[in-house]
Structure 1
Amino acid sequence: MGSVAQFFGRAVGWHRQALALLLDAEAELRALESDEFPAATADVEQRRRAALLHDLARAGLRGWLGAKLDGTAVDLPLGGDAVPDRPMFVKVGEARPTSDSVFWAVAPFIGAGHLAVDADVRDPAVAAWLRGVLLRAAAALPDGTLRVLPVDGATLGSVFAAFRPLMDAEAWASPATDLARLRSVLDEAERQISAVQGGELDSPPVLLVAVAALPSGASRADWARLAAVAHAGPAARVHLLLAGWPPHTYGESAPRLDHTTFLTGAGEGWYRMSEPPGPHRLSDDGSGLAAPLRLDAGASEDLIAQVCRRLAATATVSRRTDFTSLMPRQIWQESSAAGLSAVIGRDGRESFTLSLNDATPHALLAGRSGAGKTNVLLVLLYALASRYSPDELGLYLLDFKEGVSFVEFTPTAADPSWVPHARTVGIESDREYGLAVLRTLTREMNRRAGALKAAGATSLTGLRALQPDTVMPRLVVVIDEFQVLLAGNDTIARDAVAGLEDLARKGRSYGIHLILASQTIAGIEALYTKKDSIFGQFPLRIALPGGSGILDNGNTAADALPVGTAIVNPAAGVAEENRTVRFPHADPKSVAAQRHTLWQSRAAVNDPPAVFAGYAEHHIDSDPLYGAFTPQVRRRQALVGRAVDVGLPTVGFALDAVPGRHVAVLGTSPVAADILHAAALSLVRQHDPGTARFVIASFAATADTVVDDLVATLTTGGHDVAELDAGQLRVLLKDLATTDSGPTSKPTYLVTFAADVIVPMLSERGPDRRTGLDDLRTVLRTGPGRGVHLLGWWRIARRFADTLGGSSGRDDVACLVALNVPANEIASLLGDHTLTWQPRTNRALLIDRHDQRTRLIVPFVRPGRHEDTEETGLP
């Protein structure tokens, strides 16, 4: 800190000296205008005093503020000649009181006021002068304190070309060359003034609006805004450097600018300088500097480029941010009562804070492939999770693309840590899973509505004000590639649209915030009549490169963005509200370190999130419900898989005495054998050894390995097991069908693989004119009441229907699992043509006609099933 104090002390001393020199210069200038000398000696005295003024100015303007801008200046030290809070005097030209005398004309600028010249940069002398003043200011001020907003309505920005290194380093903005961009510049200047006046910024940067020429079409309203900035700007470190002011428009006069030194053309390249801002005057009558002046010659573009490269090198370092630097030093220090906010990147050199609150409750995020959506989401979500505890924030995360966007929030085999705020994480999610999450959120919203009503509050903010100790965290719901959820125009899409609309309209009151991410929001059929009503609730827009489609019509600011930046707009994409934000790279090492910090700080009640990985197999051996089974269960179940629902609940069928409690697996996929294997093992676990009979019959070579494993497991476990061929099974069915109606000696489970193979054989009539199908149908109707249940695999749905005897026997097997069976065949089998079903790998449709259940499930398979078999995209 000693060097900083020394620098500041030197700077204060320099400015005091400059002020004293200015006072001396004012006295000398007033003396030049007096008649105290005889005419014979006047010229001599004027030359003497001009030389004195010249010496005073050279002594007062140290370093870059008065240096000759030629090759000798290139190695001058940078950033040591001025400080933002003290008036910075700058050389603006050379005054000539007589033909053979000259002194430097000096004007107060940054820290005091503004500079304006009435010609614009179409005059080469004005262009050079403007560049020279900008170079002096950029080189004199400490690094990181100056941000320049260039405006050039005459040369399309070429006058600022030499300053390109500073633009690339984002210390300067790119030139505004049209009226819309000029107004954006004024917006930014006005925002800084308002922020300082409102106490939101304690130490703002110096913001310099440098106008080379006003764009055509600038109106009196634009002039008035410039005048307002001139009036209020110096107190907020906002300054103007204007060429072409006042604008020359027939019949209209521009407003005069406060706190401004004016340079007015006097013909033949000469200018007059007005009184500068401040209490000290150059003349008694307020006419300004008595001597005419030539504008400062400025600097060559080569010198400017060399100096700017030096400045840009340090500017690049100072603007650079990383993931770790955005995380707070102490986690979980904020309250979400009034909303959520987090620093997620930089706007130029300033930190940028994004907020989710009542004013900006929901956000749309878009960008082309590779634009960095996943990176932005990681930065935003980790920044929020680091500021707000799990009692203040909950996360629901859904990813519908083939990727691993949200794996960083979940425990894995390699890393057991997770983000304790995560409630539900979907990776490569099914549409059905997304709909289940929306329904879960709707139930939570309705629960919160009841709590608010009971407390007499109308919003979460109001509830937290009335009951500060209430634990009701805000929920952030992120749906990446959300258009997949709404694809088509089926029941799922329609229900999902209705759920999104409900949450978007009401969620803000109950602390539920939606972030929808996609490459585009165009062409979503299910939204044709709902697009405005839903997206109108999303004022916050984050447009990555190629994501201008989510901004207002005509706002194409995101089209040419570099990767790593985004247009963040809190006003539904209106161009005037654009902010260009640079995001850090969420590198895996830093993300993992922050995740461990959060995980290690979790409370004992913070369970891991409910994770749905769409690509994952599920095995009966690792199922929690299967592991909890004992022979003392009240109602035995045949487990077949995990529901595609929040928490992935285990699903199966209750096998009790109700007629029809049998299981049929339909489809040609060998996964059917795995499902029967899992169902049988789950029943085994619910019986003591020897207390149940398992009859195994297999008629498909593809099931041999599964059957051998099942028989070996049953035998090793001491259970009563028999493996039958077709003829033996026919005899058993006849015996079970003709035995009296009393219960069997022990529960009996008939497990048949590829039962459709024996349907023709069972159709044959015996000596008593009965067929095996007659016996099977009798067993199906009466078996459950006697403790007999069938678990069968039919590869052909039509054969299954024939087995039941057509529609009249539908209810004789109430429990169905459909694999690669077309929807129309299942619909015909059930007599329900409203059924929505699309066969696909690692999925099955569970149907329980007694419980009125139809659910998408991930079926239980043997480990490696989907790795070792070619299933042509089917289950």
Structure 2
Amino acid sequence: MAKGERKRRAEDALTGLRELLARALGAAEGARERAQTRRAQLEFEKEVRSLGLARAEADPGVRERLDTDPALREVWDAITADRDARYARWQAEGLVEVHRLVAAEAPGAAGEPWQTWLGPAGTDPGATTPRLWRIGTGLVEHSAPGDAFPLAVPLLGTGHLRVATAPGSRPAVDALVESLVVRLVSAFAPGLVRLHLWDVGHLTGPLPALHPLTSAGLMVVHDPTRLDDLLAQLAGHIRRVHAHSLRTGQPVAAASAAAGRRLEPWRVAVLFGNGDRLPDEQYRELNRIARTGPEAGVHLVLVDMPVTAEGPIETVTFTGPDTATCSMTGPGVVVRADPPAPPAQVNLAATTIAADVLVRRGRPREFADLVPDTLAAESSVHELRTPVGFHEGEPVEVVLGDATPHALVAGPSGSGKTNFLYAMLAGLAARYSPAELELYLLDFKEGVSFAGLTPGRKDPSWLPQARLVGVNVNTDREFGLALLRFLAQEMAARAAAAKRHEVTKLAELREADPQGHWPRIVAVIDEFQALFSGRDQITQQAAALLEDVARRGRSQGIHLVLASQDIAGIEAFWGKPAVYDQCTLRIAMPKAKRVLAQENGAAIALPRWHAVVNHESGVAHGNEVAHVPDASSRGTFDELQRTLWSLLPSAQPRLFDGAHQPELATAADYLRPRGAVLGQIIEVEDRSGTFRLEPVPGRNLAVIGTAQADALSVLESAALSLGALHSPQDCLFHLWNPVPALTERVDGLAARLRHQGHEVHVRSADDMPKLAADIEQVSAESAQRRFIFFYAADGAAHYLEAKESPLDKSGLDKLRLLLKNGPSTNAHTFGWWRGMGRFKETLGFGGMDDIGGWVALDVQGTELNTLAAGQVVDWSPRPHRAVFFDRTTHSRPDVLIPFDTTTALEVP
């Protein structure tokens, strides 16, 4: 190939390469320019959408760029075309759908103009709740004013509303909040919506046109410095509602729907802040309420109150004096509050609603309002529940169950504590039959608070649920100890039954054993601190038993109600918090101390006839203030008791009255004796101290002490009961009396025994020189039983010690042989010694084994230790009380009350 041809071909190739590179570079430059244009368009579109078309259109910089850049104009035209298309669809379909939705979900006062409903009180029982509540109007940007639509937000049963203000927007904010609140209180029957108003900057609070609601308790204006109290009150209400829902297994909304009416009023708290974050504890509590409130019917309307709770909170953010945006509609919709109703008409409507509440409540709540329409129809399987008073016309209840097993009631003298107990007992008795509830009532005061619950001379009725009533037991602490022992035994019996049926709780036991008798037991002990007034065994045992019952009784359906004038200073419980911790139900009467939590001073300024009911161990958020009706005047509790008595067959309750000696003639063990009846045992069961006589050594009884009337009563009770137990042919009575002053009583006993047909030999003071011979005669073996009653045996000492000759046995020696050998030959001695020293002298060395039982009257416990098989006898004498010990049957001495034998001694 020629050299020139090769050169030409090379130049052509180079030229082609240059052209190809030029085309490639041009294409790359065009792509870069297109990419830059597209990027500019996308950034512009983002900017426009961020600003919004209305603001972008009004922005001079945007307009200038549109005029100079055709590429941006294309984007603008596309955006506006899309807007116009979507707005056309909105005008054709969306507006109609929004109007339809608000009309359907916000009916009546929830969404209609105020002119159609403001004024008369609502009548809706609240079985169904509007899902939306109107707060104003919304208008899509660049829309005609006629295209405005109603704006409504969810609230009751759903969530909360938060409003953020802007400079100059407070009048519009107040109008929005006021209109919403007026809608809430007008949509339902008065009382179903309760308002709480708090404003950090105003003592009287905003929304003055609504203040007539405060007269009926429908709105409470809270002190701006006491936000803690308001939050604690709302939190406490939420806890109570949730606890009730857990117990019943049904939320409030579901229960209300089933009942066809709202069972629990809604509580709406309107809080006006200043935009500052609350202190940490208040902030946490407010967020907890925001999270848990809606399910319990507690809702918040927050103005400039920062919260961070995750929950259904809609937000209205003001952007100007009268414009805002809403989280429901987004930034492209301008929100305006509805014009408020005239203040005069709002005030009139609020006054009408408040007046309607007062009319609906009618008269002040009375005792009759504590009683249900149907008596004794409720079940105690899961709990006991009854109203005890009223707050703003609504019942305030006490609940005894697994969650609140025991109660503490405190109040100084005259504060209404006894009246409260009567109100509580009346409510319980009216709701639960004796098969569902048993009551054990004990009053340590010097009085007869509960005596009327048993039959009396004028009124033969009794409270059917009452099984035991103890009054005037201020000196008989043993009776309180006996009640605690009984409860511990019942608790053990129920626990054993539950174990047999492989269950753990009373509700489960009743389901597993439907034929069993497993009522809930409520033991009311008034002035219970008297149990621990001494430093003795009674205090130690009572403290241990009370702690055990308080700790384990809840699962077995045994509940304590412990009442006191002041529970301070009970040393027995120092270091033993179990009782107080288990008493989660606290009731404080006016000026009560120490029963509520230390920082809870709600009872200090409480008016008369009121009580603080707290199911949260006295913590302030659990406070419920109740007006307690008069439950103790004639025609209240007594009338209910007579009605229940005629309606509910039941066994007569036992009455233990520590101020009266029981009568021997009516004692059950005297009418059906099993031995020598000595006195009534201080015990829950109505039983007597009985000394059984068998033909074995030691079956003799000693009565020791100088209390003559009580000693005579013990001897007479023993003799008369033995006379009733044995036939006249079977026994012989010997009455030895060395004291002339006792002649009348001894002769009276002899006459009564002879009237029964018994042979009685009486030896008076004049016959004492023959006493030694009588003892020898009685000691002789005989098939006939011989009962020897030796009155004031120490008074015959000089006769017993006399001897005719030094080699003869004295009467004392013969008496000791009688005590030693007599029981084996059916000769039993009942002796009374007026002093422990004389008694020991009579028995001599080793003679203690010949006295199998003893009754000590005014003898100190330290003198009795040697007679009680080495036990420490913790006994301090008191009038008409004795301590009885039978070494063959007793592990500890029993305290008994000598009988009044007057009626039993009468000869017909």
Q: Secondary structure at the match of 1:199?
A: helix
| Aligned-partner Cα distance in 1 for 2:291–2:687 | 66
Cα deviation per residue 1:504-525 (whole Å; 9 max; x = unaligned)?
A: 2322232222222223333222
The residue aligned with 1:398 is 442
Per-residue deviation, residues 351-409 of structure 1 (Å, max 9, x unmatched): 33433332222232222323333333333333333333333333333322223333344
Structure 1 residues 364 and 208: CA distance shift in structure 2, 3 A: same
Aligned with 1:286 (options 333, 336, 349): 333
Q: Partner amino acid for 1:668?
A: T
Q: TM-score, normalised by structure 2?
A: 0.71
**1:552-588: CA deviations, max 9, x gaps?**
3322222222233333333323333333333333244
User: Does the 8 Å CA contact 1:152/1:215 hold for their aligned counterparts?
Assistant: no
Q: Are residues 116 and 321 of structure 1, via their aligned partners in 2, closer, same or farther at CA, if it must alter by over 3 Å?
A: farther
Instruction: Give the AA of the match of 2:463.
Output: V
Q: Percent identity?
A: 35
Q: Residues 192 and 554 (structure 1 numbering): CA distance in 2 closer, same or farther, change over 3 Å?
A: closer
For residues 730 and 270 of structure 2, the distance between their equivalents in structure 1, rounded to whole angstroms, comes to 91
Q: Secondary structure at the match of 2:600?
A: coil
The DSSP-based 3-state class of the residue aligned with 1:368 is coil
Map 1:109-508 → 2, pairs under 5 A? 118=165, 143-154=190-201, 170-173=217-220, 175-176=222-223, 177-187=225-235, 190=238, 199-202=254-257, 203=262, 204-211=264-271, 218-219=278-279, 245-247=303-305, 258=313, 271-272=321-322, 274=324, 286-289=333-336, 311=355, 314=358, 317-318=361-362, 320-429=364-473, 430-508=476-554
Q: State the partner residue of 1:860.
A: 899
Match of 1:772 in 2: 811
Cα deviation digits, residues 803-822 of structure 1 (max 9, x gap)? 222x5222223322112222
Question: How far is 1:256 from its partner?
Answer: 12
Residues 539 and 781 (structure 1 numbering): CA distance in 2 closer, same or farther, change over 3 Å? same
TM-score in terms of structure 1 length: 0.74
Give the 3-state SS of the residue equivalent to 2:846 in structure 1.
Answer: helix
Q: Do the aligned partners of 2:438 and 2:520 also contact (CA within 8 Å) in 1?
A: yes
Q: What displacement does 1:225 show?
A: 6.9
Change (3 A) 1:402 1:217: farther
Q: 1:741 Cα deviation (Å)? A: 6.0
Distance 1:318 1:201, change over 3 A: farther
Distance 1:591 1:750, change over 3 A: same
- CA–CA distance in 1 between the matches of 2:311 and 2:826? 99
- TM alignment of 1:770-849, pairs within 5 A: 770-805=809-844, 808-827=846-865, 832=870, 834-849=872-887
State the distance in 2 between where 1:228 and 1:508 align. 30
| Aligned-partner residue type, residue 799 of structure 1 | R
In the other structure, the counterpart of 1:26 is none
Amino acid paired to 1:719: H
CA contact (8 A) 2:662 2:899 kept: yes
Output the CA distance in 2 between the equivalents of 1:800 and 1:216: 87
Which structure: greater helix fraction?
2
Instruction: Quote the offset at 1:798 in angstroms.
Output: 1.9
Unmatched segments (≥5 aa) in structure 2? 1-57, 59-111, 138-149, 246-250
**Which residue does the alignment assign to 1:868?**
none
1:579 aligns with 2:634: no
The residue identity in structure 2 corresponding to 1:178 is R
CA apart distance, 1:835? 0.6
**CA–CA separation in structure 2 for the residues paired with 1:815 and 1:668:** 18
Give the whole-Å Cα distance in 1 for the aligned partners of 2:467 and 2:522.
10
Q: How many residues align?
A: 757
Quote the Cα distance in structure 2 between the aligned partners of 1:89 and 1:404: 61
Separation in structure 1 between the aligned mates of residue 578 and residue 825 of structure 2, nearest angstrom: 58
Counterpart of 1:8 in structure 2 is none
Whole-angstrom CA distance in 1 between matches of 2:292 and 2:736: 90
**CA distance 1:698–1:827, change in 2 (3 Å):** same
Deviations for 1:193-248, whole angstroms, at most 9, x for unmatched residues? 97766524451435332435579972478568768978998998756565xx3159
Matched to 1:529, the amino acid is G
Checking the alignment, whether the CA contact within 8 Å between 2:135 and 2:176 is kept in structure 1 is no
Shift of 1:285: 5.2
Contact (CA 8 Å) 2:121, 2:356: kept in 1 or not?
Answer: no
**Paired residues for 1:738-753 under 5 Å:** 739=777, 742-744=780-782, 746-753=784-791
Task: Answer whether contact 1:695 1:722 (CA < 8 A) is retained.
Answer: yes
Report the Cα distance in structure 2 between the residues aligned to 1:537 and 1:224, rounded to whole angstroms.
Answer: 28
Report the counterpart of residue 617 of structure 1 in structure 2. Answer: 661
Query: Which structure is larger by alpha-carbon Rg, 1 or 2?
Result: 2
CA change 1:833–1:503 in 2 (3 A) is closer
Structure 2 CA distance for partners of 1:733 and 1:132, relative to 1, 3 Å: farther
1:657 match:
695
> Which residue number corresponds to residue 680 of structure 1?
719
Give the distance between the partners of 1:434 and 1:539, measured in 2 at CA: 22
Partner of 2:248: none
CA drift of 1:144 comes to 3.0
Question: CA offsets per residue over residues 823-863 of structure 1, 9 Å max, x none?
Answer: 22333555746111121223211122333351011111245
Whether the aligned pair in 2 keeps the contact of 1:362 and 1:504 (CA below 8 Å) is yes
2:768, 2:799 within 8 Å by CA — same for their partners in 1? no
Indicate the SS of the match to 1:492. Answer: helix
SS at match of 1:404: coil
Quote the residue 1:598 is aligned against: 644
Compared CA separation, residues 517 and 461, structure 1 to 2 (3 A) = same
| Deviation at residue 296 of structure 1 after TM alignment | 9.0
**1:561 matched to 2:606:** yes
Which secondary structure does the structure 2 equivalent of 1:79 belong to?
coil
Output the amino acid matched with 2:725: Q
SS of the residue corresponding to residue 534 of structure 1 reads helix
- Among 735, 746, 762, the alignment partner of 1:707 is 746
Distance 1:225 1:767, change over 3 A: closer
Aligned to 1:644: 682
Instruction: Say whether the 8 Å CA contact 2:862–2:874 is kept in structure 1.
Output: no
Corresponding residue of 1:56: none
Deviation at 1:679, TM superposition (A): 1.9
1:164 positional shift: 9.3
Could you say which residue in structure 2 is the equivalent of 1:42? none
Distance in 2 between the 1:345 and 1:556 partners?
Answer: 20
Cα distance change, pair 146–621 in 1 and its aligned pair in 2 (3 A): same
Taking only aligned residues, the RMSD between alpha carbons, in angstroms, comes to: 4.7
Alpha-carbon shift at residue 683 of structure 1 (Å): 2.1
Whole-angstrom distance in 2 between the partners of 1:542 and 1:184: 18
Inter-partner Cα distance in structure 1 for 2:236 and 2:446: 40
Corresponding residue SS for 2:582: coil
- Given that 2:211 and 2:350 are in contact with CA atoms closer than 8 Å, whether structure 1 keeps it comes out as no
Q: Secondary structure at the match of 2:824?
A: helix
